[in-house]
Amino acid sequence: MKVDPIISVAVILSETFLVACMWGFFILKIDWLKDINTGKEIYHLNISNVLSAIRFSLVPMLIVMFGLVSENNNGNIKIKISIFIFTVIVCLTDLFDGILARKLNEVTKLGMVLDPVGDFLMITCFSILIFSKNIIDWWFFILIMIRIPGLFILMVFFLITDIKFKLKTTFLGRATIFYLLCFLGISALKLFVDKPFPFFDEFIIVTEIIGAILIVLSSAQKIKLLIYYLKNQKIIRKELSKENIQF
């Protein structure tokens, strides 16, 4: 069985880029491994960061396995079982990394970045996979690519140019990410069977419209917040200094 070249290339480039960024953070921002609340030095990857690293590693593997199954809807049952197991592991790491960090007093700046970046990686890679199989429409795919990778690139740009900002999550932002993850999960069912349930194609169209509304609204909220940060750098620097958080 063969995997489409576009999937392999996208996965390899995404993983290589993100791993390079992680090593860059270790080299240039070693203080990111300090506990935010206590200032305690952490000289090794804590369990939360390890869970995030596991998620980074498993996402490309999942994409490749999904690609294998899509070549043959009656594909090997072992691959399907493996996909299910790895998907559960990815979801559990996403759930527990933040919980353990807070419980063990190991909330680090690196962890605050890795958690959303892990979600961005999942959404970006799975969107490319689903789009390459003609399951979602091109306009919705473009919206996702603008919203998710675009936000990550902007965050990296702010770090490079020393523009101060807060990693502030909002209800609308979390709802959008959760919605997209659920949408992509349901859409991926078509990789296994042609018609997962009645009116599947109509369901995808309706959920794309709802998703587009969420993406536009959450993006507008983020843009408004970014404009505030740009206009009030002195205030943001003071607030970050008091909170002992410097990005």
Neighbours of 3 (CB within 10 A): 17
Over residues 178-198, the pLDDT tens digits come to 899 889 888 888 877 777 888
Answer yes or no: is 95 within a domain.
yes
- Take residue 3 and report the two structure tokens written for it: 């995997």
Answer yes or no: is 247 within a domain.
no
Host domain of residue 183: 5-242
Answer yes or no: is 231 within a domain.
yes
- Tell me the CATH number at 127: 1.20.120
Query: What pLDDT score was predicted for residue 1?
Result: 46
- Residue 133 CA to residue 168 CA, distance in Å, equals 34
**Residue 35 dihedral angles phi and psi, to the nearest 5°:** -70, 130
Query: What pLDDT score was predicted for residue 21?
Result: 62
Residue 173 pLDDT > 50? yes
User: Which comes out higher in pLDDT, residue 247 or 166?
Assistant: 166
Q: Which residues contact 39 (CB under 8 A, 6 or more apart)?
A: 244
Over residues 3-62, the pLDDT tens digits come to 455 555 655 566 666 666 665 655 555 555 565 565 666 666 677 777 877 777 777 777
Residue 109 pLDDT > 50? yes
Query: What pLDDT score was predicted for residue 240?
Result: 67
Query: What pLDDT score was predicted for residue 59?
Result: 76
What percent of the chain is predicted at pLDDT more than 90?
12
- For residue 29, the Cα-to-chain-centroid distance in whole angstroms is 21
Cα Rg, the chain, nearest whole Å: 19
User: Which comes out higher in pLDDT, residue 20 or 112?
Assistant: 112
How would residue 98 be classed by pLDDT, with cut points 50, 70 and 90? confident
Burial class of 206 by CB neighbour count within 10 A (0 to 12, 13 to 18, 19+): exposed
Domains held by the chain: number:
1
- Residue 34 CA to residue 140 CA, distance in Å, equals 39
- Residue 95 CA to residue 204 CA, distance in Å, equals 26
Which segment of 73-77, 80-84, 120-124, 238-242 scores lowest on mean pLDDT? 73-77
- This prediction's pTM: 0.73
What percent of the chain is predicted at pLDDT more than 70?
71
Answer yes or no: is 122 within a domain.
yes
Answer yes or no: is 41 within a domain.
yes
